[in-house]
Amino acid sequence: MPQTNFTTEILPQKSRTELSGAEFLKKLQKKREASKKDWNRNVFTVRTNDDISSMIKEYCQINNISPNRFLNDLLNSYFK
């Protein structure tokens, strides 16, 4: 069953009372899917050991950049 936050969905009182539980959830799911953006289509994960992780964190802290920026720069320089 999809997770739905009922507190953020506002339907007229008449709609709430006329719909059964399953119909209500289906309507909320359709509304959620209609407004959902595909923000996560380019998300990758990286697994490292503790040594590499600490080196990345230290480098990012010294150079005042985020780990995401570091990995983006690294990959851009590798593929260009």
For residue 15, name the pLDDT band (cuts at 50, 70, 90): low
Q: Give pTM, 2 decimals.
A: 0.49
CA-to-CA distance for 75 and 80, rounded, in angstroms? 9
- Sign of the torsion angle spanned by Cα atoms 60, 65, 68, 71: negative
Q: Where are the domains of the chain?
A: 1-36, 50-79
Count CB-CB contacts under 10 A for residue 9. Answer: 13
pLDDT at 67: 94
pLDDT digits (tens, 9 = 90+) for 17-72: 566 778 888 888 887 777 766 666 788 888 999 999 999 999 999 999 999 999 99
Q: Is the pLDDT at 8 greater than 60, yes or no?
A: no
Q: Which two tokens stand for residue 14?
A: 């008449």
